[in-house]
């Protein structure tokens, strides 16, 4: 018996499965939001009743876990759709500096050193999207560091390429990226779901990303 040959009709079940999956993800996210409301109610009640620190810490961990799950589901939906950009002339340096400030304020990054080009790096960028991409990759790099690692993670931002095709190079180093067990495959690299989405955002700007064992590089086109 010969194996069945795929035909155009076989695409319909896959499309239906994709739509059904997105609907399930949407419903699950709504349920998570509901659970977070209940958890927040319990947190406030525990605070009023002056319950033990262990009980309050448990509720805070539950809320943080619900937030992470909802964020992952949002990223999954966005990854399944084309990237839409709202570009304007912007300085990549400022985008990265502002994103770094957000990470520091949220205590997401405490051990990252940086070296950023002193001159402006202008291009046609979607500032919000690139900020999100930078934060996602930075968080991935920092979270891959273990207590046994000697090298601290760092990010370098500098001008690259020629005068005719100027680029900005963003380089994250110092992390043992291959030590992470949960990997999400993108078109030309390996990373988590969020770094895969970050790579798509950079590629939508006409850039490219390379994921290595201990380094991540991203190039973005500049315009003078």
CATH of the domain at 160: 3.30.565.10
The tens digit of pLDDT for each residue in 26-43 reads: 788 788 888 888 888 888
Are 17 and 58 part of one and the same domain? yes
Are 75 and 107 part of one and the same domain? no
Are 69 and 105 part of one and the same domain? no
Q: Within a domain: residue 118?
A: yes
Are 108 and 214 part of one and the same domain? yes
Are 71 and 148 part of one and the same domain? no
Q: Within a domain: residue 1?
A: no
Are 68 and 108 part of one and the same domain? no
Task: Give the count of beta carbons closer than 10 Å to the beta carbon of residue 206.
Answer: 12
- Of 59, 79, 99, the position where a domain reaches its end is 79
Q: Within a domain: residue 4?
A: no
The mean pLDDT of 216-220, rounded to a whole number, is: 93
Are 44 and 121 part of one and the same domain? no
Q: What residue numbers bound the domain in which 93 lies?
A: 88-221
Report how far apart the first and last C-alpha atoms of the chain are (Å, whole number): 63
- Predicted confidence at residue 50, as pLDDT, reads 76
Q: Within a domain: residue 2?
A: no
The count of domains in the chain is: 2
The tens digit of pLDDT for each residue in 182-216 reads: 445 444 444 578 888 999 999 999 999 998 877 89
> Is the confidence at residue 149, as pLDDT, over 90?
no
How distant is the alpha carbon of residue 106 from its chain centre?
15
User: In percent, how much of the chain has pLDDT > 70?
Assistant: 76
Exposure b/e, 111-126, CB count within 10 A at least 16 = b: ebeeebbeeebbbebb
pTM over 0.75: no
Q: In the sheet that 154-161 helps form, which strands lie side by side, from edge to edge? A: 113-116, 154-161, 166-173, 215-221, 208-211
């Amino acid at each position: 018996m010969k194996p069945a040959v795929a035909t155009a009709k076989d695409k319909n079940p896959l499309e239906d499965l994709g739509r059904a999956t997105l609907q399930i993800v949407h419903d699950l996210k709504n349920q998570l939001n509901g659970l977070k409301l209940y958890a927040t109610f319990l947190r406030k009640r525990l605070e009023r009743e002056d319950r033990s620190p262990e009980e309050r810490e448990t509720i805070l961990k539950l809320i943080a876990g619900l937030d992470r799950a909802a964020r992952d589901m949002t990223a999954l939906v966005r990854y399944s759709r084309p990237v839409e950009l709202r570009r304007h002339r912007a300085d990549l340096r400022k985008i990265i500096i502002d994103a770094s400030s957000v990470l520091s304020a949220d205590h997401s990054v405490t051990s990252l050193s940086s070296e950023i080009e002193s001159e402006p790096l202008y291009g046609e960028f979607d500032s919000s999207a690139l900020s999100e991409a930078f934060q996602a990759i930075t968080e991935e790099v920092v979270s891959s560091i273990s207590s046994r690692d000697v090298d601290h993670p760092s990010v370098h931002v500098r001008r690259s390429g020629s005068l005719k095709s100027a680029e900005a190079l963003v380089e994250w180093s110092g992390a043992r990226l291959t030590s992470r067990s949960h990997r999400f495959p993108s078109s030309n690299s390996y990373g988590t779901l969020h770094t895969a989405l970050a790579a798509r955002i950079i590629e939508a700007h006409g850039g490219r990303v390379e994921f290595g064992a201990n380094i991540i590089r991203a190039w973005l086109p500049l315009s003078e």
